[in-house]
Amino acid sequence: MGAGDVAESGRGVVGERGVVAAGHAAEAEAGVQMLAAGGNAVDALVAAAFTAFVVEPASCGVGGYGRLALFHAESRRFVTIDHYVRAPRLARPDMFEVDPGGAMMYYGWPRVVGRRNEWGHLAPAVPGAVAGLCAAQERYGRLSLAQALEPAIAAAEDGVPVTWNLVLAISDRLEEIRALPHAADFLLRDGAPLQAPGLEGGGDRLDFSELAGTLRRIARQGAAGFYTGSVAEAIEREVTENGGILSAADLAGYRPVIVDERPAAYRGHAYVTARDPLGYEALNILERFDLDRYGPDGVEFRHLVAEAFGHAFADNMAHYGDPDFARSPVEGLASAAFAAERAGQIRLDRAAPRPVAPGDPWPHEPEATTGPDPVGLSSGGVSGTSQVAAADREGNVAALITSLSNAFGSLVLVPGTGIFLNDAMQNFDPRPERANGIGPGKMPIFAAPALVAARGDEAVLAAGGSGGYRIMSGVLHTVLHVLDFGLELQAAVDAPRIHCQGDETFVDARIPASARARLAELGHDVVVQRDVPGTQYFGRVSAVGREPRSGVLRAAAGPLWQSAVAAL
């Protein structure tokens, strides 16, 4: 493909100056626009992400959050910009009443009465998206923030055509939207979802002129344009007048966490997951097995991946809590020694009993003490979120996961701003005694890797995903297919996957029936699923790769109906 070409279907592209992979063609185009203007991978990623806030409004937004991993070529450092949510200052461990008759959420804890942590004015946590991306641009970008926001502002001023993906997202939350007047006025017409175009054209557009104004304010003032002044005041007014607790003081006090993340090792490569503990444990477990001998289509490979994922989920959901607020064995969970112990309990001839019982990482934690009680497990599910990956010819590679949680987040639309607020309070366990319980200022667990890998001093790979906990399936399968089996990047993204959170094993329908039957014989509770438009059973992935010797850059993305790549 030529310079600046975009492949909307997600088919891989090759570039010399830079590549971008994302969830929408407009995002990929925005990233390449920055590269063409002399920007680097960070400029491209930031521009693509802000554009995503406009063109993928059900998946992400300025009222959301994310995590960003970067290999910075000049300093040869792995940098993570953690801009996940924090609980508001008035949050309490018992602020939600657990629904005694409700089903478990796929996060691994019970639902609450009225699902008040999933929609409405108590659901938003303090958003970090704007702070994180502004920090990335200021520290590691080459262009101005105002320049990086130009594509997003233009998209917002034009308005966003309603797609079938948006219609599905609206329809899925129709009753909740009808209960919130501002969201209903924006997303419905006469009480029904907006219309996508038909055979003869037509279709509705989302009027994002108010969001354009918010983006222009951020372009002028940086993060302060969101976290202080009229935008912050409007957020507080809308939330608190309707029984919520998110305040302008919460917004003013938010800061992203920027760290030089200590890399782990896998197959001779150094990598970071943007502080995702599950990704570290799963790869640490799989490092103990010679996957190459089984091949990417081997039943043994699929069995071992399911076991590694299931054990990692069981352990992290049992023990992980914000280490700044709770006693949690974060280092123990990510340690090679604990993974070796867990790998030793995995058998090739049968699956572990379901649900997988959590291990004990506390002996592997520095100054280990007795940990909290384990929590229950839950089956996998699907959520919103989007992702961007970018690379440039200087050797910078970056991956971003950015989200609102559910489609359109809490469904709280702040008048005059165009902002939908997240519903990330559901990411906390509502049971006060749990390590991941609610507390003022706490971050909940973030179980999704934005992964960047290098060999020696040269970056080779970056990948991010969307689809709730299925992000781990998508990102880690991509990494395994590249590093263990040597697949070309697009083939690695396209390859069939499985997913396990410690109980059922979800298997891509493209995997042969004979392999599925063998997994069942090994003791897996096999659930066959097929991704089609409107689902993300196995995650959506955006990835970039770099060949250190030649400098050739590649971008890949999938599934083909909801992704795009671009090269310069």
Q: What are the two backbone dihedrals, phi and then psi, of residue 427, each rounded to the nearest 5 degrees?
A: -80, -10
Nearest partner of 183 among 384, 387, 425, 423, judged by Cα: 423
Return d(Cα 508, Cα 528) in angstroms, integer. Answer: 6
Neighbours of 348 (CB within 10 A): 12
Sheet with 505-508, strands from edge to edge, namely 498-500, 505-508, 526-529
Helix, strand, coil content of the chain in percent (nearest 5): 35, 20, 45
Non-local CB neighbours of 181 within 8 Å, separated by 6+ positions:
none
State the angle between helix axes of 129-140 and 145-158 in degrees (0 to 180), rounded to the nearest 10.
140
Three-class DSSP category at 182: helix
Q: Is 385 a catalytic residue?
A: yes
Question: What is the distance in angstroms between the CA of the first residue and the CA of the last residue of the chain?
Answer: 9
Return d(Cα 27, Cα 555) in angstroms, integer. Answer: 13
- Active-site residue among 80, 163, 214, 385? 385
Cβ–Cβ < 8 Å for 431, 146: no
Provide the pairing of β-strand 526-529 with 505-508: parallel
**DSSP code for 422:** P
Return d(Cα 156, Cα 491) in angstroms, integer. Answer: 34
DSSP 510-559: TS-HHHHHHHHHTT--EEEE---TT--TT-EEEEEEE-TTT--EEEEEES
The H or E element containing residue 282 is helix 277-286
Cβ–Cβ < 8 Å for 82, 71: no
Name residue 269's beta-bridge partners: 266
Cβ–Cβ < 8 Å for 6, 32: yes
Tokens describing residue 511: 């995997």
Active site residues: 385
